[in-house]
């Protein structure tokens, strides 16, 4: 099914990757959100389980192997075009993740990666729902320690 103007919503997975008190953000290389900062992730493939698909997407986009932890949130991401037709529609499932191995390097869907401190998250112009899921991840991570 095409990603633009899909017949049905697509399932996407996102990784809030925390490491040494920072979160990894990706500048999107492709629509939707091209040029904007967001969390790494992508669309599930048919027959792929969520956590395995997320680990694959993170490896492809960042070069990192991650431990996929608890579910953080599920939400709709809908982008209409200028005529009001639905150009993109994803149901996004975000998980807290931690680095197991590797060095972060932008690849595939990311034009740039950046490790960001919690205090910097608000200044990057991300969607509010993304900022909130990142805050939730930091809070959950702090509770676990």
| Ordered structural domains, the chain, with CATH | 10-144 (3.90.79.10)
Predicted TM-score (pTM) of this structure: 0.93
Give residue 137's Cα distance to chain centre: 12
Distance CA 90, CA 107 (A): 22
Which residues in the chain come in under a pLDDT of 50?
Answer: none
Residue 9: the pLDDT is 95
Distance CA 110, CA 103 (A): 15
Residue 32: the pLDDT is 80
Please name which of 6, 13, 12, 30 lies closest in space to residue 87, comparing C-alpha atoms. 6
The answer to whether 22 and 117 are in contact (CB under 8 A) is: yes
Residue 33: the pLDDT is 80
Residue 107: the pLDDT is 83
Average pLDDT, the chain: 94
């Amino acid at each position: 099914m095409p990603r633009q103007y899909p017949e049905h919503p697509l399932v996407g997975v996102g990784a809030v990757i925390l490491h040494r008190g920072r979160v990894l953000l990706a500048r999107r290389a492709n629509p939707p959100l091209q040029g904007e900062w967001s969390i790494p992730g992508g669309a599930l493939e048919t027959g792929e389980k969520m956590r395995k698909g997320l680990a694959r997407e993170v490896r492809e986009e960042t070069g990192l192997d991650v431990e996929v932890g608890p579910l953080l949130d599920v939400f709709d991401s809908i982008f209409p075009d200028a005529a009001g037709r639905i150009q993109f529609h994803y149901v996004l499932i975000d998980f807290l993740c931690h680095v197991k191995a590797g060095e972060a390097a932008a690849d595939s869907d990311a034009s740039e990666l950046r490790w960001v401190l919690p205090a910097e998250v608000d200044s990057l112009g991300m969607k509010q729902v993304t900022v909130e899921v990142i805050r939730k991840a930091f809070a959950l991570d702090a509770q676990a320690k």
